Amino acid sequence: MAEGVKPRVKAPKKASAGEAVTIKTLISHQMESGQRKNKDGSIIPRSIINRFTCEFNGKSVIEVVMEAAISTNPYFEFEAVIPEAGDMVFTWYDDDGSVYTETKSVAIS
């Protein structure tokens, strides 16, 4: 497992029904591209977050496929319409098979 990986999400705790809210996500990750070489001249194996998804009450909000050119600590900011109270589940998929998840509940005010 890659070291120092920590998912972070900033989302409002409350929204009015049908409101579009801004969601910020960031995962600290070294995003090793697989194209760099170490001191011996051998290739450092690729180790990146290759997929990011956000689901709201089981429905897909956003899905992102990442490639090797994405820089370290990928940050995504997007807007989502909140139709009802529920849970937002954010998932990051690592090349090494690790899956990082973060959940945020949004209430209707």
Partner 1 sequence: MKFKARTAFAALLLSVPAVAFADADDDKLVINGDLEIVTKAPAPAHLSDSLDEIMSGWHFRSDETQALEMDDFDNPGMIFVDQAIEAWNTVEGAAGKSCASCHEGPENMAGVRAVYPKWNETAGEVRTLEMQVNDCRTSRMEADAWKYTGGDMASMVALVTLQSRGMPVNVAIDGPAQATWEQGKELYYTRTGQLDLSCASCHEQNYGNMIRADHLSQGQINGFPAYRLKNSKLNSVHARFKGCVRDTRAETFKPGGPEFTALELYVASRGNGLSVEGPSVRN
Tokens of 16: 């009015």
State the amino acid at position 57 in one-letter form: N
CA 88/CA 98 separation, integer angstroms: 20
Is residue 60 within 8 A of residue 40, CB to CB? The reply is: no
For residue 55, how many other CB atoms are within 10 A of its CB? Answer: 17
Binding test (CB under 8 A) with partner 1, winner from 51, 73, 76, 85? 73
**Least distance from partner 1 to the Cβ atom of residue 23, Å:** 11
Could you say whether residue 26 binds partner 1 (CB under 8 A)? Answer: yes
**Is there binding between residue 8 and partner 1 (CB under 8 A)?**
yes
Q: Which of 1, 4, 16, 60 binds partner 1 (CB under 8 A)?
A: 4
User: Which residue's CB is nearer to partner 1, number 39 or number 59?
Assistant: 39
CB 43 within 8 A of CB 35: yes
User: Pattern of binders to partner 1 over 53-72, x per CB under 8 A?
Assistant: ------------------xx
Report the nearest approach of partner 1 to the CB of residue 14 (Å).
16
Strands 99-108 and 14-15: parallel
Residues at the interface with partner 1 (CB under 8 A): 4, 6, 8, 10, 24, 26, 28, 71-73
